[in-house]
Amino acid sequence: TREELENRVIEVKQQLGSRLFIPGHHYQKDEVIQFADATGDSLKLAQLSAENKEAEFIVFCGVHFMAETADILTSDNQKVFLPDMRAGCSMADMADIQQTERAWEKLQELFGDTILPLTYINSTAAIKAFVGENGGATVTSSNAETMVKWALGIKERILFLPDQHLGRNTAADLGIGLDEMAIWNPISNALEFEGDVSKIKVILWKGHCSVHENFTVQNVADTRVQYPDMKIIVHPECRREVVELADMAGSTSYIIKTIEKAEPGSAWAIGTEMNLVKRIINDHPDKQIISLNPHMCPCLTMNRIDLPHLVWSLETLEETNNIIKVESDITENAKLALDRMLKNS
């Protein structure tokens, strides 16, 4: 039963004390997040991993790239576990290292040494290492603006991997015109751009989040008609048109904080992952809150971490199941990219 499983988690947590650390991303299910020692967005979880020196076992409740990041930022005697290896991220899967190296070669031909790579933290460790080696940094949705500004202070243009929407929304907020942004198509290994290439400031990798792309302009229009007083707040992984029509946009923690600070009785439509939206609804019975898309589903890969997998993972820590171990040469370069971000945020 659920109660039995919960008791087994409690038992391991009591036995191990501070030898065990369970970070949980805001998109995790309630049945898992209730056991997290710390919850956060991608940035906060990366910062906590970098700070934690005492936990021997880090059981990461989130997706694969987050566990890799935790492994990169912790020391060799700390082991990172992912309770289900199938908990990937469809966005991170939209850029692989071979495609990235192939793209970089072409971009060097086109732009020479005027381009700096940035990668959303939602990417493989190998891509973070590539970015680190080439002078760039990682970004999260909480610090994308700071990091894009930082990068454009160093080089004339950036390659932004792998989320075109976060890249476009961030660049647009910094006043960069849509006519100064090109798309890099990793399948055709070519730029999608019409016009004078020397004007390009931002090259957006053609990737997206399959969860956040499901919020549409129609959802915004329907909400405005049905609930004229409702404020719309969305995550910057949503399409540009949706972000433009929304009242506010920001990372997962920005959304949580905004609703916490909002007046009792205020009304909100939220455009982000459904496990989080449901939790926000439950935490704020004094406010009227709905999902911007009434047919929205949770992130399926985040959902792979469930209570049975958590129990299994906690009870097999002495075995080598599901350990996330990034190779040492990749770790070294990926850390450069992560450290540049952590220093700037």
Q: Which residues in this chain contact ligand 13P in the complex, by CB under 6 A?
A: 41-42, 89, 122, 140-142, 209, 237, 251-252
3-state DSSP: the chain helix, strand, coil percent, rounded to 5? 50, 15, 35
- Residue 258 in the binding site for ligand SF4 (CB under 6 A): no
Residue 264 annotated as part of some ligand binding site: no
Q: Measured between alpha carbons, how far is 56 from 218 in angstroms, rounded to an integer?
A: 48
Q: Measured between alpha carbons, how far is 342 from 48 in angstroms, rounded to an integer?
A: 11
- Residue 288 in the binding site for ligand SF4 (CB under 6 A): no
- Chosen residue from 43, 58, 91, 118 binding ligand SF4 by CB under 6 A: 91
From ligand SF4, ligand 13P, none, interface partner of 150 (C-beta below 5 to 8 A by class): none
Residue 227 annotated as part of some ligand binding site: no
Q: Are 242 and 216 in contact (CB under 8 A)?
A: yes
- Residue 164 in the binding site for ligand SF4 (CB under 6 A): no
Q: Are 313 and 20 in contact (CB under 8 A)?
A: no
Residue 254 annotated as part of some ligand binding site: no
- Residue 209 in the binding site for ligand SF4 (CB under 6 A): yes
Residue 212 annotated as part of some ligand binding site: no
- Chosen residue from 80, 130, 273, 341 binding ligand SF4 by CB under 6 A: 273
DSSP 177: -
Handedness of CA 255, 258, 260, 262 (dihedral sign): negative
Nearest approach, Cβ of residue 209 and ligand 13P (Å): 6
By C-alpha distance, which of 206, 97, 107, 100 is closest to 162? 206
Q: Which CB, 27 or 57, lies closer to ligand SF4? A: 27
Residues near ligand SF4 (CB under 6 A) are 27, 63, 89-91, 122, 209-211, 273, 299, 301-302
